[in-house]
Amino acid sequence: MKPVVHYSAIEGRSLAYWGLLGTFGLLLLLGLGAVWVMEHNGHYVTGMNNHIVWGMPHVFAVFMIIAASGILNVASIASVFGKKMYKPLSRLSALMAFAFLAGGLMVLMLDLGRPDRLVIAATYLNPKSVFAWNILLYPGFFAAVLVYVWFMMEKRMNQYSHQAGLFAFVWRLLLTTGTGSIFGFVIARNGYDAAVLAPMFIIMSFGFGLAIYILSLMATCRWSGRELGDSVVRQLKNLLGVFIAAMFYFVFVFHLTSLYGTENHGFEAFILMDGGIYTQMFWIGWVVIGLLLPLGIVYHPSMSKSRAWIGIASAMVIVGGLASMYVIIIGGQAYPMPIFPGFEVSSSFGDGQVISYAPSIWEIGLGIGGIALALAMTTFAVKVLPFVPDSLSDELMDPHYKAPEPEEAEAEAA
Amino acid sequence: MSDQKIDQYRREFLGKTSAAAATGAIAPGVMLMSVGQAQARPLDEAVSSANRWGLLIDSNKCADGCSDCVKACESENAWGSGSSDEQKSDAAQKAQWIRTVTLKNKLTEKEHQLPMMCQHCEHPPCVDVCPTGASFKRADGIVLVDKHICIGCRYCMMACPYKARSFIHEELNDQAPDVPRGKGTVESCTLCVHKIDRGDGSTACADACQHKAIIFGDLNDPNSEIAQEMKKHATTQIRADLNLNTGVRYRGI
Amino acid sequence: MKQLRNLFISLAMSLILSGTAFAESVGPELKINRANGDECVLPADEMRKDHMKHLDHQRDETMHNGVRTKKFSLKECINCHANKDEKGKYIPVNAPGEFCQSCHTYTSVKLDCFECHATKPRDTAFHPIVTDRMKAFAEQHDAPKTKTMLGDIAAKGGAK
């Protein structure tokens, strides 16, 4: 009979554990300190202005929100698509999805000009605004994930975990579509007004989420002394490869179709050729580091078998993800709006010019604080509740597992 | 005559002379009010869509290098050089409600100038995207920000095709009593709504323009100067392709 | 029993009534400018309790419907309640010890209004149709031609 997977809370008593939690706590406190500076003085202390209205906080926040929905993907593959191998991975996936959404929302809400008016944001809702839809979608996601985790953990509710998983899956598709639409619905700017942004964000969520999950799983198992077999790592690595390829396809299609229309040549030239930091971020950050190099590692004959390299590939996807957010969000604002097509425009308000943006330490501090919140929540939760499987060894997880022959076992033991 | 009749006569005399005096005192005021371009709406009456306020701007008349409209707006609404506030914000962070834009024809290199402000669209993208409904359009067409419910998310600034909106990046202390503005909220040209409601019949920029490049008026009133001008000459909207049906129209772009 | 009941009622009434009397005298001494009259638009204890209710309603009416009645207009409140210093300049109403701030400090309720609203009235006593700022602008720019008679009044101080 196939052995059953058990879950338990990690021990979490070592100095290293408390050190880790303490580090995340400290970064979170620094982030909150940065918020105090921005809120008390006003946004003049940041690099944001009337032309670049959304800066580093939004880069981090949007990254975390779409990553959160992608992290839940791992659980969905088990519950929704019936791949039993992913089942033991589901609890941690749901936990981290919750944590990363919380972190992303914290950053978004604390960057508001009037964060003291959050209650108004929750009670006055303009039905035509994507932001207002998101204000309903985000708490719904929290609720869906909480219910899903409950169903997975409580034995008598296990039979319903498929339905809960399906509900959470559909909900997160709506949420990510909503997040992509924040930009896709902006008719005013060349870099946004595109329907393809919504599915592109969904695919990016798959990639970023899985990369974060792989790194977290490897770290959790390594640091809590639980076995993580090659079978699991190999399957996740292959899935990451597919997602990276899909992301590459969407970026390629987005720019190719954009390039076809002459009206877009100005913006495309800006991103692809002469946009300075934006061009560097696009090619080096997004394409090379975020897509090509990890793709190479994942499909390389020997590197793809090394956990260190897989970890590096995942980290690269994350770096590429942040770069992609920078290019999309900030690059899209830096390029001048086409208010008077056909004319060369100038004014005292930056019309016709590329606006420069230099992020301040406060904005970056807030963004890092959000990531720290997500990781702190995860680190704390795995100690309190049984999110992590006792073992993900090949014996448990690999459907083609063959016990080694007795001579081999003796040879191993020797 | 009997005493009663004398009293009656006195009463009538006093009544008539005081009525005449009162009329004499009030009449000039009444005449003054009726000659103004717009009748003041009673204070307790709500605005209605019977009016649609707008501007007609003639770029041909806008003199190169002139920024009187900008200075008048700054002075009236207490921003920019019209107030001692916003000292800590850098140039890109300071508010700008109206600006002069210089357009250069790429082929002929001919330059011309026009003022640009919130276009008070009939279908404003800023109103669509505002999560709380703080960005709204009044019944008479003026697009405003209700700063009581603005949370400062700046989505409207992202969405505006004319970059008409500004965010306040620091604490303010020198506001005009008619024009509240504050840290952490978004603002833009109000079409001098406080002046319109008062019955002034015009905006600060329209009043200040020496070249008569800006006309304010009721687009719904076929007899208004603005409506007559728009019937006489060809006019356009900026980014007419977006189908926003702006309240600010231009000639000579 | 009847006597006991009456005693209980009178005790209760005196407690309640003294409580309300207390409410009127609770709170700091307010610096009120009596030059504009001795009464607010509503009795003082009603204002203490309900001023936000009236202001909130008024603000929505003004903002969305353009109704600018003066009774609960914040601008009018400030016109009346702002005090002047020895030099004759207006003191902001949210300065320590001034009208709004003294009660709000006592009750520990943060004043949000003056994040946006002006804390001082204009220097003129009434609301001119043409503002001081426009007059100043007109003087600076050599009294430009205006289209309205009202504008002429601003520029030249009289009807043509």
User: Which tens digits make up the pLDDT trace of A107-121?
Assistant: 999 999 999 999 998
φ, ψ of residue B43 in degrees (nearest 5): -55, -35
Burial per residue of B115-147, b for 16 or more beta-carbon CB atoms within 10 angstroms, e otherwise: bbbbbbbeebbbbbbbbbbbbbbbebbbbbbbb
Average the pLDDT over A311-321 and give the result. Answer: 97
Asked if A186's CB is within 8 angstroms of B151's CB, the reply is no
Counting Cβ atoms within 10 Å, is residue C125 exposed (0-12), middle (13-18) or buried (19+)?
exposed
Q: How high is the pLDDT of residue B72?
A: 95
Residues 6 or more apart from A271 whose CB is under 8 A from it? A191, A255, A278, A279, A282, A327, A331, A335
Q: Measure the CA–CA gap between B158 and A188, rounded to whole angstroms.
A: 8
Residue A332 pLDDT > 50: yes
* One-letter amino acid of A288: V
Closest C-alpha to A333, from A197, A179, A183: A183
Asked if A53's CB is within 8 angstroms of B158's CB, the reply is yes
- The answer to whether residue A202 is domain-embedded is yes
Q: Measure the CA–CA gap between C37 and C122, rounded to whole angstroms.
A: 19
Q: Calculate the alpha carbon distances from C126 to C75, C79, C122 in Å.
A: 11, 9, 8
Pairing of the two strands B186-187 and B166-167: antiparallel
Asked if B44's CB is within 8 angstroms of C69's CB, the reply is yes
Average the pLDDT over A208-215 and give the result. Answer: 97
Query: What is the CATH number for A368?
Result: 1.20.1630.10
Our CA angle for A136, A140, A145, nearest 5°, is: 155
Q: How high is the pLDDT of residue A263?
A: 83
Could you tell me the residue range of the domain that residue A270 belongs to? 19-338+351-390
Low-confidence ranges of chain C (pLDDT < 50): 21-23, 124-129, 144-149, 158-160
Interface test with C, best of B207, B209, B214, B228 (most C CBs within 10 A): B207
Give the 3-state secondary structure of residue B105.
strand
For tokens 């503005």, what's the residue?
A: B181
Give the 3-state secondary structure of residue B161.
coil
Q: How high is the pLDDT of residue B37?
A: 43
φ, ψ of residue A370 in degrees (nearest 5): -65, -45
Pairing of the two strands B186-187 and B99-105: unpaired
Smallest CA–CA separation between C38 and chain B, in Å?
24
Q: Measure the CA–CA gap between A245 and A257, rounded to whole angstroms.
A: 18
Q: Measure the CA–CA gap between B119 and B248, rounded to whole angstroms.
A: 5
> Whole-number mean pLDDT of chain B?
88
Lowest mean pLDDT among A223-237, A393-407, B74-88, B124-138: A393-407
Lowest mean pLDDT among A214-228, A308-322, A393-407, B141-155: A393-407
Closest C-alpha to B136, from B128, B125, B127: B127
Q: How high is the pLDDT of residue C149?
A: 47
Counting Cβ atoms within 10 Å, is residue C132 exposed (0-12), middle (13-18) or buried (19+)?
middle
- The answer to whether residue A218 is domain-embedded is yes
Q: Measure the CA–CA gap between A33 and C142, rounded to whole angstroms.
A: 52
Give the 3-state secondary structure of residue A191.
coil
Q: Where are the alpha helices (DSSP H) in B86-192?
A: 125-129, 155-159
Residue A406 pLDDT > 80: no
Q: Measure the CA–CA gap between B175 and A312, rounded to whole angstroms.
A: 55
A122 at interface of B, judged by CB pairs closer than 8 A: no
Q: Measure the CA–CA gap between A87 and A76, rounded to whole angstroms.
A: 9
pLDDT digits (tens, 9 = 90+) for A13-56: 999 999 999 999 999 999 999 999 999 999 999 999 999 999 99
Q: Measure the CA–CA gap between A212 and A307, rounded to whole angstroms.
A: 14
Average the pLDDT over A119-125 and give the result. Answer: 89
Q: Measure the CA–CA gap between A143 and B73, rounded to whole angstroms.
A: 49
| pLDDT greater at residue A413 or residue C58 | C58
* One-letter amino acid of B238: I
Option in C59, C121, C144 nearest B208 (CB): C144
Smallest CA–CA separation between B106 and chain A, in Å?
6
Angle of helix C132-140 versus helix B68-77 axis, rounded to 10: 150
Q: How high is the pLDDT of residue C131?
A: 52
Q: How high is the pLDDT of residue B87?
A: 92
Q: How high is the pLDDT of residue A79?
A: 84
Residue A361 near residue A196, CB atoms below 8 Å: no
| pLDDT greater at residue B28 or residue C12 | C12
Q: Measure the CA–CA gap between C120 and C82, rounded to whole angstroms.
A: 6
Q: What is the DSSP letter of A352?
A: T
pTM: 0.85
Counting Cβ atoms within 10 Å, is residue A230 exposed (0-12), middle (13-18) or buried (19+)?
middle
Asked if A114's CB is within 8 angstroms of B131's CB, the reply is no
- Beta strands (DSSP E) in B5-98 are 53-58
**Cβ neighbours of B46 in C, within 8 Å:** 61, 65-67
Lowest mean pLDDT among A126-140, B159-173, B188-202, C135-149: C135-149
Give the 3-state secondary structure of residue A314.
helix
Smallest CA–CA separation between A363 and chain B, in Å?
14
Q: Would you kindly state where each structural domain of chain B is located, as residue ranges?
A: 1-35, 53-251
Option in B75, B147, B212 nearest C133 (CB): B75
For tokens 């919130």, what's the residue?
A: B118
Closest C-alpha to B177, from A180, C72, C133, A16: C133
- Confidence band for A414, pLDDT divided at 50, 70 and 90: low
Chains that touch A (3 or more CB pairs under 8 A): B
**Cβ neighbours of A120 in B, within 8 Å:** 132, 149, 151
Query: Within the 91-130 window of chain C, which residues sit less than 8 Å (CB to CB) from chain B?
Result: 92, 115-122, 127, 129-130
**How many residues can be counted in chain B?**
253
Option in C65, C141, C149 nearest B35 (CB): C149
Residue A129 pLDDT > 90: yes
Count Cα neighbours of B226 within 13 Å in the Cβ-side half-sphere.
25
- Confidence band for B20, pLDDT divided at 50, 70 and 90: low
Q: How high is the pLDDT of residue A260?
A: 87
Our CA angle for B108, B114, B119, nearest 5°, is: 125
pLDDT digits (tens, 9 = 90+) for B139-169: 999 999 999 999 999 999 999 999 999 999 9
Average the pLDDT over A199-228 and give the result. Answer: 94
Q: How high is the pLDDT of residue A187?
A: 80
The CATH number of the structural domain formed by B53-251 is 3.30.70.20
A185 at interface of B, judged by CB pairs closer than 8 A: yes
Closest chain C CA to residue B173: C118
Q: How high is the pLDDT of residue B188?
A: 96
**Cβ neighbours of B197 in C, within 8 Å:** 66, 68
Closest C-alpha to B110, from B251, B211, B238, B253: B253
Closest chain B CA to residue C113: B148
